[in-house]
Structure 1
Amino acid sequence: MPPSLDASTGNGLHTFCDRAPCPNLLFTHVFRHCAAGRGHRVVDPVIIVGAGPVGLTLALALARQDVPSVVLDEGPGKDESRLARTAVLHEDTAALMARLTGVPVTELGVHWAGWRSMRRKQVMREVDFEEAGDAPLHLAQHVLTGALRTALAEERLVKLITDSRLDTIEQEPSGVTAHTRGSKGTWWRGSYLVGCDGTRSTVRKLQDIRFPGRTAVERHAVAALRTELPWEDRALLHRMPPWRTSGPSAGEITARPLPEGVWRLDWLLPPGKDLVTPELLVARVRETLAGWTGGSTPPYELLDTGVHTVHHRLARRWRADRVFLAGDAAHCLGALGTQGLDEGLRDADNLAWKLALAWHHGPHEALLDSYQAERRAIVAGRLRAADQALPLLRGGGGLRSVVPGSARGHDGLLTDGHLGRGPLGAPGAYADSPLAPRHLEGEVPVDTPPGAPVADVRVTAEDGSFVRLRERLGRGALLVLLVAPGTGVWERKHWVTAGIMPRLAAAVTALPHSAELLVAEEYPGAAPHTVLLVRPDGHLVTALSGVRPADLYSAAETALGGPAAKTEANAGAGSR
């Protein structure tokens, strides 16, 4: 039942669903009032369980699309400073963080200047990112979470509730009810609920979703320390170092720079449950630093230590009606240098625009189903690639005995994982997505395959400003990009009404969803007058030769999940 409101004080004096008092409904009422005032459908907020990087990213991404959310944080709302707990973000996810937090990524972490991989004393591969570009960003996870929390504090459409542990989820056709216990335990009402609550996800367990996979695929001893190494701001992968190790042999060491002269060092541990004692870890630090500097151990300050255990698991389902899973609640990966947080942030980016469209316009089952179809397929492929490579790289038999390979080839696989390339690390393309259009007569190839993330070219926006393409993402609108050489040297007013622009503008206006028309002088592999249709999360829908209104409309409709079913249930879902 809707809340009653005291007209004189504005305080909520109400019951919730005829079951229990619900103090949080005043917050829901505020959201409803804001939505109604802006002409939006009256819908309950999205409930996000978990206030780690993935949950906070999803809340911010929804707020940028005018969707309110409640974030239920089991903890006190603060994150422990742990320099031994870091993340590597690649170009697309680093750009997402900069867009949502408003903080330049260089203030969050360090872009690697280069990458070097060694085997014994031999340099196997070097990458100079000043020439190659696409430098990974390495940062402490608590720094990332802090930046997200700071941005979230400015968002009136997001409410962060601390000390709230979920214990009940109830679903019905029009929404979700969740109960939390703790000092602020109460009932919460939402339109959808997303579990971003980690590997031991309560949401996943309450929905009885299986989480099969492998435990302790890899274990690493980790140390964060401040010291000077012979290579500034360059990451290093050293396999089979020539010096003798203390205790069990550490066959692989990774060094990755952080701001202010801090480094994270990882030693791959042999299989088993051997404890990593402080004495053994200090011995590894001293021995490794001495080996890299060619003499005695240089001065260093040990700041943090830990053991990082990698599991490989994949939830059977990522959607159960109005409940979704994202991040570590849906998948665990991280062997061979791959980054689970990267994939979790991509989960949030993929899900946000689909939930936003459903929140504003009513449920669209095909669009919401596509979240699992797209993201689970990508992560499953990543896990398969890692599981196939592990026996080859770790000497466990299997593939190693039947597949020819060289040390350089093995190094290439590891480099792919660490640098976010190839099947182990590259951002996935949704080529087989149910949202991918088929058989468009005017489709032409460009260097970006359909379903892959678009290149970040400079574009002219509708207001005449010059911006990067990625800056226009995440607003809930489709992007239509015209490749028109020469437009960059003229003011927009001189060409906006010339040539094919009026016809293209009319086609964009007629699309089944709001879209922004952008113009670029060039795009990799695209001929002049190519028209690209881009999803709100930056993945290419299609590229067309010239203005083809019918193809453009058909592609846009498919990218939105096809024609929405106009049923009574859809029309009323989530509303009051």
Structure 2
Amino acid sequence: MDPVIIVGAGPVGLTLALSLARQEVPSVVLDEGPGKDEPRPARTVVLREDTADLMARLTGLDVEQAGTRWAGWRSLRRKQVMREVTFDDAAEPAPLHIAQHVLTGALREALAGERLAKVAVDSRVDTIEQEPSGVTAHTRGPKGTWWRGSYLAGCDGPRSTVRKLQDIRFPGRTAVERHAVAALRAELPWDGQALLHRMPPWRKSGPSAGEVTGRPLPDGVWRLDWLLPPGKDLVTPELLLARIRETLSGWTGGSTPSYELLDTGVHTVHHRLARRWRSGRVFLAGDAAHLLGVLGTQGLDEGLRDADNLAWKLALAWHHGPHEALLDSYQAERRGAVSARLRAADQVLPLLRGGGGLRAYVPGASRGHDALLADGHLGRGALGGPTAYAASPLAPRHLEGEVPVDTAPGAPIADVRVTAEDGSVVRLRDRLGRGALLVVLVAPGTGVWDRKHWVTAGVMPRLAAAVAALPHPAELLVAESYPGAAAHTVLLARPDGHLVAALGGVRPADLYSAAEAALGGPARAESGAGAR
């Protein structure tokens, strides 16, 4: 089988290549640049718990050292503190704030050691041709050539050449928000806390009063974002320096403290969604498929979830031949999730940016607005909460033995401690991304016994036989407990960590049906599949 062609060497494309390599699928990454990334301290990303774990798992990066976990979150309006959140890893893990070039560098370094992945620099795609058995891409430039692949993923950003060559529309809204951005080193009163300050008292009232966000980075560096008024007014260096000085002096309550300015920029947020995310053997991911980012939501966070979702499905198709229902589910799940984010933002924006009116005087309105903004920044609710594929075409139907647990079907599994088949105790998320289904038995008390004493006792032999009979390789794990699950509950999770079903006890028929559904239904022989 030919490798998967990945167009674009940003975080999403590199993540997809690494994820495929972990599942024994070769890929070639076509990078139109020189293979290096310019350090830009003002260009940062906020990763939620699941995507931060994905980066750590793929790169081996110590994300706690490379980025900053916020100690808390504070919302202010004028001089009043409206909302404070202190993060607790058990109850609510803190978001991870990291410079994008640090993240991309770690991905590139990890990919350099992969025997199944190759990066071709100075390679800009200008032609894509498809046939039933594969796809061919041509690159221009000094090393222009033809590349043959089994599938092609367009991870080449907002101006995606892949999307244009496939004649896929990219409708949406331009310049939904604009922010002036600065990265600087300074001592601020909120050590390790991120904050959102709406209508700061040193700014005049009205639509230009705006808001400023401060997010800490390692080594005393902060990223500050100022919401700009609608329009296309230039952000001059003088204007930006004035914003920095008045903000720092306003926060410290005196004259402007000393600071070191490291980087500046203007960040314009667009909202767009590609009509199709799949065209035959060609797929779109990341900014090539969607643009979002108002109210603290994070586009790259969603792009990494695209790569995680697509990787295991391409891997299964590469190893066993294309299963159209499984490949189609990528668009259904990921486009549906991002579309819901965009709809939520569109509904909230008029309320938060409408500029007054009677709603501004309704008691409690300001606190409600701050709660909505916190949802986007902190990864909660419709604006930023964990992605659940409740209506997925891969969801099983009519399982007699299904029981409720605290994780809804289609949502990401909780990261509990589990005992693996080799007897080691690991985090459940450490077993993701290997291409196998995960079967977890909830068995209180097993932690105090050596594995050899309970692996052949009770329900384990029957469960092991049921797992061995599944239509796809699966790993059997044992957990002392799982949120909301009774003893002997059996959980089935996909390779990307989304719960397929929770069953009350060992039910081989239900387990098989759930696994078959998660793989897109019964496999059918298809012409031109190129199965290995």
Give the alignment's TM-score, normalised by structure 1. Answer: 0.90
1:287 equivalent in alignment to 2:246: yes
1:122 equivalent in alignment to 2:80: yes
- Equivalent residues of 1:454, 1:540 under 8 A apart: yes
1:57 equivalent in alignment to 2:10: no
Question: After superposition, what is the alpha-carbon deviation per residue over 1:138-173, rounded to whole angstroms, capped at 9, x for unaligned?
Answer: 010000000000000000100000000000000000
**1:402–1:281 CA distance, 2 compared to 1 (3 A):** closer
2:365 corresponds to: 406
Structure 1 residue corresponding to 2:188, chosen from 229, 244, 251: 229
Question: After superposition, what is the alpha-carbon deviation per residue over 1:486-538, rounded to whole angstroms, capped at 9, x for unaligned?
Answer: 01111100100000000000000000000000000000000000000000000
1:479 equivalent in alignment to 2:438: yes
The Cα shift of 1:231 comes to: 1.0
- Equivalent residues of 1:483, 1:528 under 8 A apart: yes
- Equivalent residues of 1:82, 1:304 under 8 A apart: yes
1:152 equivalent in alignment to 2:122: no
1:296 corresponds to: 255
1:100 corresponds to: 58
Structure 1 residue corresponding to 2:484, chosen from 518, 525, 539: 525
Residue range with higher mean Cα deviation, 398-407 or 110-119:
398-407
Distance 2:249 2:15 in 1: 41
- Equivalent residues of 2:186, 2:220 under 8 A apart: yes
Question: After superposition, what is the alpha-carbon deviation per residue over 1:169-214, rounded to whole angstroms, capped at 9, x for unaligned?
Answer: 0000000000000111100000000000000000000000000000
- Equivalent residues of 1:391, 1:397 under 8 A apart: no
Matches for 1:166-245 after TM superposition, within 5 Å: 166-244=125-203
1:492 equivalent in alignment to 2:451: yes
The Cα shift of 1:393 comes to: 0.2
Distance 2:31 2:348 in 1: 37
The amino acid of 1:328's aligned partner reads D
1:81 equivalent in alignment to 2:69: no
- Equivalent residues of 2:79, 2:200 under 8 A apart: yes
The amino acid of 1:129's aligned partner reads F
The Cα shift of 1:432 comes to: 0.3
- Equivalent residues of 1:246, 1:284 under 8 A apart: no
Identical aligned pairs, as a percentage?
84
Residue range with higher mean Cα deviation, 151-160 or 101-110:
101-110
2:26 corresponds to: 68
The Cα shift of 1:133 comes to: 3.2
Secondary structure, aligned partner of 1:179: strand
1:111 corresponds to: 69
The Cα shift of 1:251 comes to: 1.5
- Equivalent residues of 1:246, 1:283 under 8 A apart: no
1:7 corresponds to: none
Identify unmatched segments of 5+ residues in structure 2: none
Distance 1:549 1:125 in 2: 49
The Cα shift of 1:81 comes to: 0.4
The Cα shift of 1:405 comes to: 6.4
- Equivalent residues of 1:250, 1:267 under 8 A apart: no
Secondary structure, aligned partner of 1:167: strand
**1:417–1:547 CA distance, 2 compared to 1 (3 A):** same
Secondary structure, aligned partner of 2:215: strand
- Equivalent residues of 1:246, 1:280 under 8 A apart: no
Identify unmatched segments of 5+ residues in structure 1: 1-42
- Equivalent residues of 2:199, 2:205 under 8 A apart: no
The Cα shift of 1:345 comes to: 0.1
The Cα shift of 1:413 comes to: 0.5
The amino acid of 1:225's aligned partner reads L
2:306 corresponds to: 347
- Equivalent residues of 2:203, 2:209 under 8 A apart: no
Distance 1:343 1:174 in 2: 30
Question: After superposition, what is the alpha-carbon deviation per residue over 1:327-382, rounded to whole angstroms, capped at 9, x for unaligned?
Answer: 00000000000000000000000000000000000000000000000000000000
